[in-house]
Structure 1
Amino acid sequence: MKKILGGLLLAFAFAVPQAYAGLVATDQVAAQQERERVKALIERPEVAQQMEKMGIPAKEALARVDAMTDEEVRSLAGRLDALPAGGQISSQTLLLICLIIILLLLI
């Protein structure tokens, strides 16, 4: 009886599939996250609308992002991070705003 149980345990030990874990490089993970972030930006309605105005369908833009290398995606994501959030303000507009604030404080 012990031999049968031992044989069954041995059979189950070899019958259980083994899992193999591979290492994933951090740059691959980072590139995938950047790719998803760029694709999420393209999928935003206002961005998709502007791209349509320029003649680039959103689906085609997503396909282009998928075709980019990891380095190209990182470069694009870096440029997106460097863009100002609210647009640019000219020095004349800044000067005008400062003058209005000074006038309001004096009055």
Structure 2
Amino acid sequence: MSRQFMKFVSRLLVLCMLALPFSSHAGMIPTDQIAAAQQQDARGVVTTYLARADVQSELQALGISSDSARDRVAAMTDEEVGRLAGQIQAQPAGAASPWAVAAAVIVIVWALWYFYYR
């Protein structure tokens, strides 16, 4: 790199360090505030899950309206909602079908064969 470019970058970094303040504020957060935020997040997870179209169609197939399900969630205790939200978040995002696994194995075997005998 050229010497002029290095000088320019150095001066730019010094200018940025002087112009932009390095300040932060740390403080104690009350436990009840954290607990309330976690409970709100858990209720948000469950209500978002209930708002999905596939979940609503499954509820209707079981004979439960979406309004009734929301009312039932609103009546649940914080512990129950937290447990339900944990179960929802523990579910796999996309279940791997046997065909997808077979296709992945075939692609891996083909790639190994191709690069080994190439």
- Post-superposition offset of 1:33: 2.1
> How many pairs were matched up?
83
Q: 1:102 to 1:31 in 2, by over 3 A?
A: closer
Q: 1:89 to 1:29 in 2, by over 3 A?
A: same
Which portions of structure 1, spanning 4 or more consecutive aligned residues, are displaced by more than 6 angstroms? none
- Post-superposition offset of 1:89: 4.1
Unaligned runs of 5+ in 1: 1-22
Residue of structure 2 in register with 1:79 after alignment:
87
Alpha-carbon distance in 1 for matches of 2:70, 2:54: 15
Map 1:14-93 → 2, pairs under 5 A: 25=32, 26-89=34-97
Q: 1:59 to 1:80 in 2, by over 3 A?
A: same
What's the Cα RMSD here? Answer: 2.5
Alpha-carbon distance in 1 for matches of 2:36, 2:55: 26
**Looking at CA atoms only, which structure, 1 or 2, has the larger radius of gyration?**
1
Q: 1:37 to 1:98 in 2, by over 3 A?
A: closer
Alpha-carbon distance in 1 for matches of 2:73, 2:31: 21
Identity %: 31
Q: Which amino acid aligns with 1:101?
A: V
Q: Deviations over 1:65-94 (max 9, x none)?
A: 00111011111111111100002445x863
Alpha-carbon distance in 2 for matches of 1:30, 1:102: 42
* TM-score (normalised: structure 1): 0.63
Alpha-carbon distance in 2 for matches of 1:36, 1:71: 14
Q: 1:35 to 1:97 in 2, by over 3 A?
A: same
Q: Which amino acid aligns with 1:71?
A: E
